[in-house]
Amino acid sequence: MAIVKSSGDLLRLLTFLICLLHRCSAGYDVESVVRTQNLLSANLKLEGGTTEFGPDVKSLDLTASLETDSRLHVRITDADHPRWEVPQDIIPRPTLVSDDVLLGSPGMDNATLPSSATISKVSSDLTFSIHTKPFRFTVSRRSTGDILFDTSATLIFKDRYLEVTTALPAGRASLYGFGEHTKRTFRLQPNDTFTLWNEDLERSDQLDLNLYGSHPGYMDVRPGGNAHGVLLLNSNGMDILYGGSYVTYKVIGGVLDFYFFTGPSPLAVVDQYTQFIGRPAPMPYWSFGFHQCRYGYKNVADLEEVVAGYAKAKIPLEGIWSDIDYMDGGQDFTLDPINFPASRLRPFVDRLHSNGQKYVVIIDPEIKRQATPNEDFFLKRNGTNVVGRVWPGEVYFPDFINPRAVEYWAQKISKFRRTIPVDGLWCDMNEPSNFGAWQPLNALDDPPYHINNSGTHRPLNNQTVPVSTVHYNGVSEYDAHNLFGLFQARATHAALLKDTARRPFVLSRSTFPGAGRYAAHWTGDNSARWDELANSINTMLSFGLFGIPMVGADLCGFRGNTSQELCSRWIQLGAFYPFARAHTERTTE
């Protein structure tokens, strides 16, 4: 009888038993391996297979490379067909080239291959090992022998369903990360599912549901303090199951593109992670002060009264913000001609500036259908512009992958700032949000595996643009959905930098790894409750791990009536938020 010596052995035994019961895929075998000291490539051949969620890809390519002394890259993709990957201009990735030492060759019986092959070097604490029959791989810490990542043999790779599981040492792994979700604790709790699909959730104060950003990475802190990081660089929707002794990824497209960061301290992990995804943008000094906003300021006189009230009470106020109230019918780059005319708003902003204070306004990623230019740079579906419905009514959505849309956006921002010289821009609704759902057009709209969207397996098309939408160069929304907010934040950051020649301030609701290079983040539509105050701390800490340290929650709560005690305590806590803004909705008192 086999002796179970580790959680990895137990996981593989349980996986084998489950496979016997359910006749699951037998996974892949290694057909050939090519290796140097820092680079290993292998061809994987399907053994067995299932028809659930579609046919299996028969041949896979694996590449593992030590890109730096602190970073290991492991990529698995279809050997015969190109697949969607996060674009290089979002997160640039190096290509490693080495002189190859052949350990096997295509067509050679894999029984002649060694049972495993390893890459490591003296200057790195990471070791990668590939195990040949059946295929699995491990990542270990060379200095201690600790296993950091240990996959099961039941790799599943289909066109729109990928699954891989890694064992965790029972009682020794402490995980942090995987977002964006509202959590009761900073440390992740076992037996939880993390769905990653950027969503405008109507009640973001509910726990454990996918929210506005997708960050498929975690930090694991082991006993003694050694920490390492793991990132799955994939923008497709996914469910991640954390069972305490294992992590299972269930992804609906793209490739398995893993990055491992050796640490060994938590600070070193974050440093290595942001070195890869991009360092956080330097923020203007004024953005660290206290800000005031409300959805429901009726006119310029309201803004003047609020600023005067702060001055009378001798409370420092760095800036005041406007929600969509300032717009003409909810349209970007317009002013309500009655309540926020330029003749009143511009002198108010000039007075703010003379007092050393700032003014920030909201913008949404859509253009009213009747106000769109003749240029053709909007999202398409079935050959025509996608018609959504947001605050202005029927709208088109600029395609921020298209350079012409980026140029148009910059021109609109510059022209608007000639009228009202705003100091920053607040990108809301950029998942993107849409008021309604869509009927399926093709197979993308109804993938074979339904992620647990909104906790109810809600269709991907609900309250956003349909995933059968097509971007510039034929990119599908199915693949790029979780990147939309990052693309808009990047375009907005570039536009402000060009127009002001100063550090831009951009606040974005939707995020993805790398968004911190362009924008700050706030946690969306929270509620005026004590548990929301407490839970915000976990979110602040998580976004520090995600490389977006400029983060905050709506002080005192966006929804519902606050109390004097709750609001005062929340503002005290907010003094420790990197981004501190009081913001409430218009029906609150």
The residue extents of the domains of the chain are: 26-88+113-277, 287-367+398-435+481-584
Compute φ and ψ for 519, nearest 5 degrees: -150, 155
287-367+398-435+481-584 in CATH: which number?
3.20.20.80
The answer to whether residue 42 scores a pLDDT higher than 70 is yes
pTM for the full model?
0.94
Q: Quick one: pLDDT at residue 14?
A: 52
Please check whether residue 434 is in contact with residue 390, taking contact to mean a CB–CB distance below 8 angstroms. yes
Q: Which of 159, 239, 431, 479 is catalytic?
A: 431
pLDDT tens, residue by residue, 545-568: 999 999 999 999 999 999 999 999
The Cα 197–Cα 212 span in angstroms is 8
Q: Which of 56, 180, 325, 525 is catalytic?
A: 525
Torsion of CA 288, 292, 295, 300, to 10 degrees: -120
The percent of residues above 90 in pLDDT, for the chain, comes to 87
The SS3 call for residue 198 is coil
The SS3 call for residue 166 is strand
Whether 78 sits among the annotated catalytic residues: the reply is: no
Whether 56 sits among the annotated catalytic residues: the reply is: no
Q: Quick one: pLDDT at residue 227?
A: 98
Long-range contact list for 169-175, CB < 8 A, 24+ apart? Answer: 169/6, 169/7, 169/8, 169/222, 169/245, 170/7, 170/10, 170/244, 170/245, 172/222, 172/223, 173/220, 173/222, 174/220, 174/221, 174/222, 175/218, 175/219, 175/220, 175/242, 175/247
pLDDT tens, residue by residue, 16-30: 444 444 445 569 999
The percent of residues above 70 in pLDDT, for the chain, comes to 92
Block residue for tokens 């959730």: 201
Q: Quick one: pLDDT at residue 569?
A: 98
Q: Quick one: pLDDT at residue 111?
A: 52
275 class by beta-carbon count within 10 Å (0-12 exposed, 13-18 middle, 19+ buried): middle
Q: Quick one: pLDDT at residue 556?
A: 97
The Cα 196–Cα 252 span in angstroms is 11
Q: Which of 199, 323, 428, 477 is catalytic?
A: 428
CATH 2.60.40.1760 assigned to domain 26-88+113-277? The reply is: yes
Q: Quick one: pLDDT at residue 16?
A: 44
Whether 428 sits among the annotated catalytic residues: the reply is: yes
Q: Quick one: pLDDT at residue 49?
A: 85
Q: Quick one: pLDDT at residue 448?
A: 98
Q: Quick one: pLDDT at residue 472?
A: 97
Please give the biggest Cα pair distance in the chain: 85
The answer to whether residue 37 scores a pLDDT higher than 90 is no
Mean pLDDT over 470-478 rounds to 98
